[in-house]
Structure 1
Amino acid sequence: MIGQNFCPFAKREYDRESIHYAIIETADLATQLEQIIAQCTVLDTDPERETSLLIFPTALSNFDDYLDLLDIATALLEDQGYDGIYQLASFHPDYVFDGLSPDDPSHYTNRSPYPMLHILREASVETALATYPYPDKIPVRNIRRTQDLGLKAMQDLLAACYE
């Protein structure tokens, strides 16, 4: 993500050490959802923590199961009053964008070593986008970058994360 600059805002937060990494090892849906809300609660009270990255190393290997969690978690955030405050970004080892060939390198903009949910502060996202030239071109630039690198290079980059 940072090395390929897929998110031009990530390096700043990484360098500031304002990203919290939460390892969630349970396969129990209710406990996963509790952990997501717990991370939101910490973000509510800790302005130094810009964002939380929830990593599921032992669960959600099936992409459809992961998407189910994402849908339920998004609805839960809304139910808990976090709509407009936090949003979820999604990453998975088998991430695929609907309507694209399974071999399209652009899937790798959202692929990760483990299933992950990224809790972002919406106000921070809005501020970052307002100060970045042509933010609507970020996805197009990322797709072009992955296609220029090619499928093999993207596969190798992801595989290197496990080393």
Structure 2
Amino acid sequence: MTATDDQTVIHHTRQWLEKAVIGLNLCPFAKAPYVKDQVRIYISHAKHLDGFLEDLDRELQLLADTPATEIETTLLVHPTLFGDFLLFNDITAIADTAVTDLGLEGVLQIAPFHPDFQFDNTETDAISNYTNRSPYPTLHLIRESSIAKAAAAFPDAADIFERNIALLEKMGHEGWEKLAIPRCPFPIDKASK
């Protein structure tokens, strides 16, 4: 991928954040760090899983070592390696282990987003899956302290997921399509292992 491609990935990711995550208020905690330019978007160019996990380790450590006033949260994006959602889901479990291995359990956690995200026991095209659909396979690295602050500021934080699903069900697929959130224009490897 070229620097131009990286700019496309960052632009698409920002559009998704602005139109869906912040625009629909899917995450009420996202707007403040975004407008303060404290959301790091890192594009991984790893050719294989091992390289991606090294990128993950570096980004976890960077986030842990950097004050929240500089980087509140990180989006680790790989635009071409994890086209198969089930494989990506397996990678998420490995990523959670990396948090523990780096001694960052209770400090950081990871939330997965993917163009074909699918919750257990849902149909592929269920609109509820779109709460976690992003233009590219993405791991959101989150500070536990930020989650605690947000939960204190939003006492009904546990209800956000249900509210999001209700909102998307009301919008339907047609409403989601009107947001015109970009989808990955690059070939994604559906068989990476």
Question: How many residues in Structure 1 have an aligned counterpart in Structure 2?
Answer: 162
Match of 1:154 in 2: 176
Between the aligned partners of 1:18 and 1:151, the Cα distance in structure 2 is: 31
Aligned partner of 2:8 in structure 1 is none
Structure 2, gaps ≥5 residues long: 1-20, 186-193
Provide the C-alpha distance between the structure 2 equivalents of 1:144 and 1:123, rounded to a whole number of angstroms.
28
The 1:39/1:28 distance shift into structure 2, 3 A limit, reads same
Residue aligning to 2:81: 59
Asked if 1 retains the 8 angstrom alpha-carbon contact of 2:64 and 2:108, the reply is no
Corresponding residue for residue 37 of structure 2: 17
Q: Which has the higher contact order (CA 8 A, sep 6+)?
A: 2
| Pairwise CA distance, 1:142 | 0.1
- Please state whether the residue corresponding to 2:23 is helix, strand or coil: coil
The TM-score normalised by the length of structure 2 is: 0.80
Residues of 2 paired with 1:56 and 1:156: CA distance? 25
- 3-state DSSP of counterpart to 1:44: helix
Q: Secondary structure at the match of 1:160?
A: coil
Q: CA deviation at 1:152?
A: 2.5
Matched, 1:107 2:138: no
* Root-mean-square deviation over aligned CA pairs: 1.4
1:8-157 → structure 2 map (5 Å cutoff): 8-47=28-67, 48-157=70-179
Residue 161 of structure 1 deviates from its aligned partner by 2.2
> Contact conserved, 1:91 with 1:117, CA < 8 A, in 2?
yes
Counterpart CA distance in 1 for 2:181 and 2:144 is 31
Q: Which runs of 4+ in 1 moved over 6 A?
A: none
Q: State the 1:156 CA deviation.
A: 4.4
Q: Which moved more, 1:101-110 or 1:135-144?
A: 101-110
1:104 shift after superposition: 1.5
CA distance in 2, matches of 1:80, 1:160: 34
Structure 1, unaligned runs of 5 or more: none
